[in-house]
C-alpha cells in the first residue's frame, strides 16, 4: 500500500540483518534445547501474542501544563489509523484498536470499519469519556458523571456510554471500557458509599445494553483528576462493582493507576483468582500516572505481571480471557516509535514468562525455598530473547528492527508535509 512503509524497504532492511539473526537464533535454540525448551514453540507464542493500540496514543500527549505537538501528527481518526497501520506493519502484534469516543468518533457515514480492515486492523474496545465536558454538551461533569448526585447528569453520562456501544457495534468491537474521573478534592465532599451506589445504578443500564458476546471493563485509578478521593480507587472496589454487575463485567488493570511500589503482580493474581481480570492497560511510570512507555522504568515488574498472566494461561484458569491494550501518553517521543517499542517490550516479557521453569518454581514454593524460587524467575527474566522476538516479527512479515525501518522510511517526514500542524490533534492532553 502506497500510504505506508513499503514492503521493499522492509525486505531490504531485513535482508541486511537476517544472516546474523539466524546465527543468534540457532545459538539460542541450542542453549534453550539443553534445558529442554523448544525455541520454535516460543517463537510461535511470540507470533500469536496480541496487544491493542489506543487510537488516542498516536497523537502527542501532554501534561496539565503544556503539550508540545510533534511534526506530522494525525489530525483525524483516518490519519490515526494510518499511523496504527505502520505500527502493526512493522511489529505484527497490534492489529486491534482501542477507540476513544468522542475524541475519535466517526462522523455520520464515515466508512471507518472498511478503512481499518483494508489496513489489517480491527476495532477491539470502545472507550467512553465522561471525564471531560464536550463543547456541545448540556450538563457538566465537573462534579462527576455516572455517580453524579444529579440524576440528569447521570442520565447524560449513561446515554454517552450507550452511544459508544452503538458505534462499537457498527465497527465490530467486542468490549466497552469505562473509566470515570468521578471523585472528590476535599474531605466530606463526596459520600463514599452513596457515590458507589449511584455509579452501580448507572452501570447496570450500560451493562444491560451490552450486545451478545460483549464485555464491559471497569478501570480503577487511585487519584486524578480528583486528588482526595476517586470513585473506583483500587482493585477491591473494582472487583466489588464487577461482581455486583454480573459475568460480563470485569476489572481492567492500568499499570499506572496505582501508588508507587504497590505490588501490581499480586493484584493481577488476585483478580485472576476471582475470575474478574480481563482488561489491561500497559504503560510504565516512575512516580505516578500512566505516561511512560511500557517496560521503560520497571521491566522486572512487567515480567512479574506477565509471570502471573502466563501462569494463568498455561493452567487454563476458568474465565481467564485477557484483553491486552496499551495506554500511554507520549510527550517527547514520536508516538509511533513509542508504541512499537512498547509492543515489543510486552512480547519480550510474555516470552520470558514462558521461559520460567514452573516445575522448579512450584517445588521451590512448596519447599519454602525462597532463593531457588527467585533464581528461577531471574533465570527467565535475564534471558536475552531478542532473537526470538526478531524471528517472530520476520516470519510474520514485520521488521527485524522496527524503529530502524520506520526511521529509514521517512514516514514522519512525509506526514509532516502532508499534515500541516493544526494546533494539535484529537485527544489533546491525556
What is the Cβ-side half-sphere exposure of residue 157, based on CA atoms within 13 angstroms? Answer: 32
Q: Scanning the structure block, which residue is given the C-alpha cell 471493563?
A: 217
Binding letters toward ligand PSV, positions 117-136, x by CB under 6 A: ----------x---------
Residue 408, classified by CB atoms within 10 Å of its CB into exposed (0-12), middle (13-18) or buried (19+), is: middle
Partner whose footprint covers residue 430, from Mn ion, ligand PSV, none (CB < 5 to 8 Å by kind): ligand PSV
- Give me the least distance between CB of 257 and Mn ion, in Å please: 7
327 binds Mn ion (CB under 5 A): yes
146 binds ligand PSV (CB under 6 A): no
- Give me the least distance between CB of 78 and ligand PSV, in Å please: 20
Binding letters toward Mn ion, positions 279-298, x by CB under 5 A: --x-----------------
Residue number with CB closer to ligand PSV (29 or 54): 54
- Give me the least distance between CB of 109 and ligand PSV, in Å please: 26
Please work out the total of residues on this chain that contact ligand PSV, with binding judged by CB under 6 A: 9
Stretch that binds Mn ion, among 30-38, 250-258, 260-268, 298-306 (CB under 5 A): 250-258
**Which of 215, 220, 281, 354 touches ligand PSV (CB under 6 A)?**
281
What is the Cβ-side half-sphere exposure of residue 301, based on CA atoms within 13 angstroms? Answer: 22
179 binds ligand PSV (CB under 6 A): yes
Residues 141-180 that bind Mn ion (CB under 5 A): none
- Give me the least distance between CB of 29 and ligand PSV, in Å please: 39
**Which of 290, 308, 334, 345 touches ligand PSV (CB under 6 A)?**
290
Residue number with CB closer to Mn ion (92 or 160): 160
- Give me the least distance between CB of 281 and ligand PSV, in Å please: 6
Query: CA–CA separation, 94 vs 53, rounded Å?
Result: 6
What is the Cβ-side half-sphere exposure of residue 399, based on CA atoms within 13 angstroms? Answer: 27
Give the residue closest to ligand PSV by C-beta. Answer: 430
- Give me the least distance between CB of 326 and ligand PSV, in Å please: 11
254 binds ligand PSV (CB under 6 A): yes
For every residue of the chain, which 3-state class applies, written as one string? CCCCCCHHHHHHHHHHHHHHHHHHHHHHHHHHHHCCCCHHHHHHHHHHCCCEEEHHHHCCCCCCCCCCCCCCCCCCHHHHHHHHHHHHHHHCCCCEEEEECCCCCCCCCCCHHHHHHHCCCEEEEEECCCCCCCCCCCCCCCCCCCCCCCHHHHHHHHHHHHHHHHHHHHHCCCEEEECCCCEECCCCCCCHHHHHHHHHHHHHHHHHCCCCCCEEEEECCCCCCCCCEECCCCHHHHHHHHHHHCCCEEEEEEHHHCCCCCCHHHHHHHHHHCCCEEEEEECECCCCCCCECCCCCCHHHHHHHHHHHHHHHHHCCCCCCCEEEECCCCCCCCHHHHHHHHHHHHHHHHHHHHCCCHHHHHHHHHCCCHHHHHHHHHHHHCCCCHHHHHHHHHHCCCCCCHHHHHHHHCHHHHHHHHCCCCCCCCCCCC
- Give me the least distance between CB of 197 and Mn ion, in Å please: 24
- Give me the least distance between CB of 4 and ligand PSV, in Å please: 26
Q: Scanning the structure block, which residue is given the C-alpha cell 450507550?
A: 162
Partner whose footprint covers residue 127, from Mn ion, ligand PSV, none (CB < 5 to 8 Å by kind): ligand PSV
Residue number with CB closer to ligand PSV (290 or 334): 290
Residue number with CB closer to ligand PSV (290 or 345): 290
Residue number with CB closer to Mn ion (21 or 325): 325
430 binds ligand PSV (CB under 6 A): yes
141 binds ligand PSV (CB under 6 A): no
Residue number with CB closer to ligand PSV (127 or 301): 127
Binding letters toward ligand PSV, positions 297-336, x by CB under 6 A: ------------------------------x---------
Task: List residues near Mn ion by CB under 5 A.
Answer: 254, 281, 327
| Residues binding ligand PSV (CB under 6 A) | 127, 179, 219, 221, 254, 281, 290, 327, 430
Amino acid at each position: 500500500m502506497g500510504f505506508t512503509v513499503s514492503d521493499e524497504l522492509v525486505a531490504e532492511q531485513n535482508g541486511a540483518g537476517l544472516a546474523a539473526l539466524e546465527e543468534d537464533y540457532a545459538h539460542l535454540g541450542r542453549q534453550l534445547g539443553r534445558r529442554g525448551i523448544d525455541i520454535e514453540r516460543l517463537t510461535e507464542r511470540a507470533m500469536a501474542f496480541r496487544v491493542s493500540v489506543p487510537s488516542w496514543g498516536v497523537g502527542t500527549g501532554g501534561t496539565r501544563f503544556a503539550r508540545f505537538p510533534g511534526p506530522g501528527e494525525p489530525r483525524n481518526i483516518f490519519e490515526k489509523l494510518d499511523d496504527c497501520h505502520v505500527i502493526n506493519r512493522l511489529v505484527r502484534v497490534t492489529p486491534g484498536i482501542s477507540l476513544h469516543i468522542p475524541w475519535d468518533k466517526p462522523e455520520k457515514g464515515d466508512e471507518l470499519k472498511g478503512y481499518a480492515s483494508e489496513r489489517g486492523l480491527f476495532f477491539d474496545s470502545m472507550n467512553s469519556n465522561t471525564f471531560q465536558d464536550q463543547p456541545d454538551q448540556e450538563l457538566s461533569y465537573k462534579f462527576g458523571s455516572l455517580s453524579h448526585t444529579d440524576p440528569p447528569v447521570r442520565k447524560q453520562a449513561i446515554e454517552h456510554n450507550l452511544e459508544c456501544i452503538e458505534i462499537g457495534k457498527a465497527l465490530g468491537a467486542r468490549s466497552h471500557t469505562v473509566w470515570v474521573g468521578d471523585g472528590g478534592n476535599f474531605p466530606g465532599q463526596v459520600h463514599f458509599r452513596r457515590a458507589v451506589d449511584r455509579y452501580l445504578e448507572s452501570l447496570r443500564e450500560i451493562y444491560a445494553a451490552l450486545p451478545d458476546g460483549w464485555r464491559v471493563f471497569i478501570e480503577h485509578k487511585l487519584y486524578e483528576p480528583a486528588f482526595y478521593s476517586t470513585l473506583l480507587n483500587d482493585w477491591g472496589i473494582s472487583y466489588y462493582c464487577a461482581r455486583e454487575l454480573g459475568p460480563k463485567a470485569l476489572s481492567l488493570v492500568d499499570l499506572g493507576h496505582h501508588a508507587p511500589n504497590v505490588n501490581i503482580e499480586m493484584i493481577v493474581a488476585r483478580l485472576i483468582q476471582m475470575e474478574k481480570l480481563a482488561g489491561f492497560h500497559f504503560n510504565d511510570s516512575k512516580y505516578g500516572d500512566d505516561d511512560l512507555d511500557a517496560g521503560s522504568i520497571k521491566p522486572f515488574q512487567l515480567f512479574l505481571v506477565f509471570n502471573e498472566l502466563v501462569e494463568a494461561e498455561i493452567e487454563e484458569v476458568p474465565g481467564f480471557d485477557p484483553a491486552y491494550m496499551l495506554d500511554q501518553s507520549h510527550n517527547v517521543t514520536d508516538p509511533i516509535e513509542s508504541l512499537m517499542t512498547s509492543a515489543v517490550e510486552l512480547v519480550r516479557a510474555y516470552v520470558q514468562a514462558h521461559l520460567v521453569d514452573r516445575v522448579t518454581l512450584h517445588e521451590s514454593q512448596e519447599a519454602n525455598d525462597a532463593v531457588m524460587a527467585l533464581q528461577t524467575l531471574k533465570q527467565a527474566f535475564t534471558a536475552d530473547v531478542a532473537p526470538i522476538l526478531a524471528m517472530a516479527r520476520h516470519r510474520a512479515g514485520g521488521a527485524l528492527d522496527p524503529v530502524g525501518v520506520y526511521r529509514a522510511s521517512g514516514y514522519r517526514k512525509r506526514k509532516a508535509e502532508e499534515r500541516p500542524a493544526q494546533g494539535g490533534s484529537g485527544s489533546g492532553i491525556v
